[in-house]
Amino acid sequence: MNKALYRQAIRLVPKQWVALGDWTGNRPDDGMIRQLEEALAAARARGGVLALTDGGEITSVAFGTVRLREKRPATPDTYFRAASISKFVTAYGVLCLAQNGLVDLERDISEYLGEAVRNPAYPDVPITLMQLMTHRSSIRDGEYYNSHLTGDTALSEVLRAEDSFYPWRPGEKWEYSNLAAGMVGSVIGAAFSDRGEQPFEAVMQDWVFRPLKLEATYLPQRVKGTLADAWRLMPPARTPNYDAEARQHGPLPKPRAGDYLMAHGSLCVTAEGLLKVAHAALRNPWIFEKMSVPLASFGSRDPRLQQGVGCFIYQDEEIGRPLYGHQGLAYGAVQALFFDRTGRGFALLTSAVSEEREGVMTKLNRQLCRIVFGEEP
């Protein structure tokens, strides 16, 4: 559905008032709460969790429903599939490894994977981890990749498809690619292949989640609490597009076959957990400098957005300072993680909400950025 048609169609979906009542910590001022409630209601939000921080304490509030069939209410400790915010968390983990000399961001990934990965048009040009995390690898999300998302197809087979590469030299241009970002999981898994059947997951537990005392996982089968469904408001969904119960009780992915389908979008985490990762990135000057330096622009698709290492750099004239983080959209859910250099930030994880966009960013995420960051701290 194109943007103009979706913009008209979503108006037919009834609004439901969103009450942000029981905060886990300090309650924001009434004026901000009212603005947040109005923005979520206007976006037809059906359920989710919103977490805020001023750089210190994190406070969160749950609203609405997170399971479509059983109408289960959201709670602050509900887990959500974070979609593309996974890229931010993955990049933070890889940079932790690089800072400690355990991976080389500029090394040919073929040396990690044990098989040649080359753009057929440039067979002598290596592809690096840095290029994968900044969408400059020349790897694209072709039809073959998009039709083989079950995890049963090996990465080498996907890369042999004629439509898996752009016709330009690796490192030359920027083009957003889920396949390239997902391959980061394959590279890390190969580099730490002695870490069991799911080495990428094990490495992220060791270097990100356990040090931050954070319950999170790239494997929905390992979520111990409530995992949220995701469903589309338009066209209306009768069953979840992302069925959390089925995901939690499904089989673990086959080792090494589908590991390129984890790092870019499969993270299951709470809203407060995302802000903990943001705080960790800010506290590490070497990592934050890597993530926050703009390396490419989204151009006419969204002139306010630039690309860092696994990170969006968002500049809105109404805010007056850059924000860092990532947006996620999948299965009808809209997710967001954005923060500034002072540590002020927010994380929004939803089950179903309007997917209306203004450029690349959703209308809802733009509004939330303006509400949270509209005044200097």
Q: Is pTM beyond 0.75 here?
A: yes
User: What pLDDT is attached to residue 1?
Assistant: 65
User: What pLDDT is attached to residue 270?
Assistant: 98
Q: CA–CA separation, 350 vs 80, rounded Å?
A: 7
Instruction: Report whether 101 contacts 60 (CB < 8 A).
Output: no
Match 């206007």 to its residue by tokens.
42
Instruction: Report whether 69 contacts 218 (CB < 8 A).
Output: no
C-alpha separations of 176 from 28, 73, 134, 268, 298 in Å? 36, 34, 8, 22, 9
- Segments making up each domain of the chain, as ranges: 1-377
- Tokens representing 332? 């009808």
User: What pLDDT is attached to residue 377?
Assistant: 46
- Tokens representing 355? 């997917």
**Mind listing the pLDDT tens digit for each residue in 195-243?**
878 999 999 999 999 999 999 999 999 999 999 999 999 999 999 999 9
Instruction: Report whether 350 contacts 333 (CB < 8 A).
Output: yes
Within a 10 A sphere around the Cβ of 195, how many other Cβ atoms? 16
* Closest of 326, 321, 355 to residue 341, by C-alpha: 321
User: Which H helix or E strand runs over 80?
Assistant: strand 80-81
DSSP class of 247: H
Q: What are phi and psi of 35, to 5 degrees?
A: -65, -40
- Interior CA angle at 133 toward 127 and 138, to 5°? 45
For the chain, 377 residues long, the average pLDDT of each consecutive 10-residue run is 84 92 95 97 97 94 97 97 98 98 98 96 98 98 92 90 96 97 96 89 97 97 97 94 96 75 97 98 98 97 97 96 98 98 98 96 98 77
State the fold for domain 1-377.
Beta-lactamase (3.40.710)
* Closest of 219, 218, 225, 228 to residue 352, by C-alpha: 228
